[in-house]
Amino acid sequence: PTNQFCDARIGYGDSGCGVSGASSSKILIKGGTVVNAHHQEIADVYVEDGIIVAVRPNIKVGDDITVLDATGKFVMPGGIDPHTHLEMEFMGIDQTIDDFFSGQAAALAGGTTMHIDFVIPVGGSLTAGFEAYEKKAKKSAMDYGFHVAITKWDDTVSKEMEIMVNEKGINSFKFFMAYKGILMVNDELLLEGFKKCKSLGALAMVHAENGDAVFEGQKRMIELGITGPEGHALSRPAVLEGEATARAIRLAAFVNTPLYVVHVMSIDAMEEIAKARKSGQKVIGEPVVSGLVLDDSGLWDTDFVTAAKYVMSPPIRAAGHDKALQAALSRGILQLVGTDHCAFNSTQKSLGIDDFRKIPNGVNGIEERMHLVWDTMVESGQISVSDYVRITSTECARIFNIYPRKGAILAGSDADIIILNPNSSFEISANTHHSRTDTNIYEGRRGKGKVEVTIAGGRIVWVNNELTVTPGSGKYVKMPPFSYLFEGIDKTDAIYLSSLRAPAKRYRSTE
Ligand code: URP
Ligand code: ZN
Ligand code: ZN
Ligand code: ZN
């Protein structure tokens, strides 16, 4: 325990900050409505040593047990955030403002009990990158997994992908189609990467924007003298997100491998995903909270600090895209919600005060996701409570092949549980949030539905608006390859090959 963890708003589990943990290895949650993605019932949930032992009405226990009354409240699987960037070096900034401890503390205060972060290779090496992230994550207060980014291609990278999947618990790789000169890959690399992913049973993920066109758009803005944060949105319009999404989808179809499109921010990208899914292609679309609940108006704020906090890529779009993404989520065109939590404080953002191209890209959200999705989607009547569980937790667990250990309130599942009171309300402010950043893109926002209790790995970490978290208590969750998305791929490959057999014979016979 070092002083850097003694944040006034974060009680420290193993002493030091004067807040003792309300933790007990045995917990009974009584009388709540237990919600899973496919079923809900009024029942008790009994937890022992970090695992859910029983889920049924009227569980009787002795008195050495912590009892939580959940009458009139929802008992649901803790949120799983599929998309975060904690402690990442990015765009000339040494690291994002939230490390694995502060980012996870924020997550837990908002009802998220697991996240999947992105390993960025070090000096082109996946192994070195993985080891660096292993080290950063040692102070974890909740469970976490990793995706690994692929930023170049050679035999070493290809071999390292095998090691990641077969030995390190990785089952997904991310390809950036933007950030020219830093992370961006070309179509040749995408094809090699997709083929390798397919052979390993790993899911290919894309940041879909046409990076060459974005580069051109940025030059255009600078030439016009538009250097402020609004130039960020103007330089990379939705058409460039639609183009890259369509291209990635078609290349994944050509390789016949599943595809996961991260941070779907526009109607343009969403419609490409809808079309592909309608044709039977296995494409997952992940909207993020900022794209679902905000529009781009903040980027035009005359105060630089205010405008710059909204800068992320792809950009938050004009009003209309948000509502369309919500509708797509409610209809199953998009399947789960992430945050892309990648927080920078005002000082870090001010690197781009004279040039929007230098504003580090990223917004907060890891603490706000569960509340904002509840308020925007459930409270508004767009989705059911079961759907809420599916899009905030269960579907993520299924896609990354850790269901039902995660994403469910079932006997045998990890005790990652939240109690949400639908009649209580929340209010968001940088003055009260748990992230280290000094701004919040949802500043002042209020809504209905409040996460009153968070249990992570069987520990009560959030109750009565008090957070008690312990660095080192979170575990790395290995994710096995060949999720449900890979079912049937061998069959469609066989059909394709047999369709080629006739012409192949003809060519051989004429030799
Ligand atoms: O602006 C963003 N999204 N920053 C994080 C990196 C990424 O593209 O996901
Ligand atoms: Zn301390
Ligand atoms: Zn991205
Ligand atoms: Zn991201």
Q: Report whether residue 342 contacts ligand 1, using a CB cutoff of 6 Å.
A: yes
- State the Cα–Cα distance between residues 191 and 497, nearest whole angstrom: 19
Look-up of token digits 């000082």: 347
Distance of CA 135 from the midpoint of ligand 4 (Å): 20
Q: What is the mean pLDDT of residues 482-499?
A: 95
Token reading at 408: 């469910």
Among the atoms of ligand 1, which is closest to the Cα of residue 313? 1
Under the banding of pLDDT at 50, 70 and 90, the label for residue 21 is: very low
pLDDT higher than 60, residue 319: yes
Q: What is the mean pLDDT of residues 440-463?
A: 98
Q: What is the mean pLDDT of residues 409-427?
A: 98
Distance of CA 494 from the midpoint of ligand 1 (Å): 38
Token reading at 158: 């290809």
Under the banding of pLDDT at 50, 70 and 90, the label for residue 22 is: very low
Q: What is the pLDDT of residues 169-201, one digit of tens each?
A: 999 999 999 999 999 999 999 999 999 999 999
Q: What pTM, to 2 d.p., does this model score?
A: 0.95
- State the Cα–Cα distance between residues 43 and 32, nearest whole angstrom: 6
For position 277, what pLDDT does the model report?
98
Q: Where exactly are the structural domains of the chain?
A: 78-408
Helical (H) or strand (E) element with 242: helix 238-255
**For a pocket test of ligand 1, which of 185, 312, 349, 366 has the largest count of ligand atoms closer than 8 A to its C-beta?**
312
Q: What is the mean pLDDT of residues 421-444?
A: 98
Specify the residue with its C-alpha closest to ligand 1, atom 7.
313
Distance of CA 282 from the midpoint of ligand 3 (Å): 20
Strand partners, 44: 56
pLDDT higher than 50, residue 346: yes
* DSSP letter assigned to residue 37: T
For position 62, what pLDDT does the model report?
87
Distance of CA 85 from the midpoint of ligand 4 (Å): 6
Token reading at 244: 């890259």
Lowest mean pLDDT among 12-21, 103-112, 334-343, 467-476: 12-21
pLDDT higher than 50, residue 6: no
Look-up of token digits 């090496």: 125
Pairing of strands 172-176, 143-149: parallel
Look-up of token digits 């207060």: 141
Share of the chain above pLDDT 70, in %: 95
Q: Which long-range contacts (CB under 8 A, 24 or more apart) does 487-495 make?
A: 489/198, 489/256, 489/257, 489/258, 492/256, 493/256
pLDDT higher than 90, residue 489: yes
- In contact, 175 and 185? CB cutoff 8 Å: yes
- State the Cα–Cα distance between residues 250 and 243, nearest whole angstrom: 11
Q: What is the pLDDT of residues 73-84, one digit of tens each?
A: 999 999 999 999
Domain 78-408 CATH superfamily: Metal-dependent hydrolases (3.20.20.140)
The alpha carbon of 507 is separated from its chain's Cα centroid by a whole number of angstroms, namely: 49
- State the Cα–Cα distance between residues 183 and 206, nearest whole angstrom: 12
Under the banding of pLDDT at 50, 70 and 90, the label for residue 329 is: very high
Token reading at 329: 């989520």
Ligand nearest to the CA of 15: 2
- State the Cα–Cα distance between residues 94 and 310, nearest whole angstrom: 20
Distance of CA 261 from the midpoint of ligand 1 (Å): 13
What is the three-state SS of 477-497?
Answer: CCCCCCCHHHCCHHHHHHHHH
pLDDT higher than 90, residue 502: no
Q: What is the mean pLDDT of residues 44-69?
A: 96
- State the Cα–Cα distance between residues 164 and 185, nearest whole angstrom: 20
Q: What is the mean pLDDT of residues 111-129?
A: 97
What phi, psi does 166 have (nearest 5°)? -80, -25
pLDDT higher than 80, residue 14: no
pLDDT higher than 90, residue 16: no
DSSP string, 109-159: HTTEEEEEEEEPPBTTBHHHHHHHHHHHGGG-SSEEEEEEE----SHHHHH
Q: What is the mean pLDDT of residues 26-40?
A: 97
Q: How far apart are the first and last CA of the chain?
A: 74
- State the Cα–Cα distance between residues 454 and 32, nearest whole angstrom: 14
For position 510, what pLDDT does the model report?
53
Under the banding of pLDDT at 50, 70 and 90, the label for residue 509 is: low
Ligand nearest to the CA of 90: 1
**For a pocket test of ligand 1, which of 179, 232, 263 has the largest count of ligand atoms closer than 8 A to its C-beta?**
263
Residues around ligand 4, an ion, CB closer than 5 A: 340
Q: What is the mean pLDDT of residues 445-462?
A: 98
Q: What is the pLDDT of residues 133-168, one digit of tens each?
A: 999 999 999 999 999 999 999 999 999 999 999 999
Ligand nearest to the CA of 19: 2
- State the Cα–Cα distance between residues 368 and 293, nearest whole angstrom: 11
What phi, psi does 36 have (nearest 5°)? -115, 175
Under the banding of pLDDT at 50, 70 and 90, the label for residue 1 is: very low
- State the Cα–Cα distance between residues 507 and 511, nearest whole angstrom: 7
Under the banding of pLDDT at 50, 70 and 90, the label for residue 13 is: low
Mean pLDDT of the chain: 95
Helix 155-167 with 187-200: angle, nearest 10 deg: 30
Q: Report whether residue 313 contacts ligand 1, using a CB cutoff of 6 Å.
A: yes
pLDDT higher than 80, residue 2: no
What phi, psi does 265 have (nearest 5°)? -110, -10
pLDDT higher than 50, residue 422: yes
Under the banding of pLDDT at 50, 70 and 90, the label for residue 63 is: confident
Q: What is the pLDDT of residues 350-398, one digit of tens each?
A: 999 999 999 999 999 999 999 999 999 999 999 999 999 999 999 999 9
Ligand nearest to the CA of 339: 4
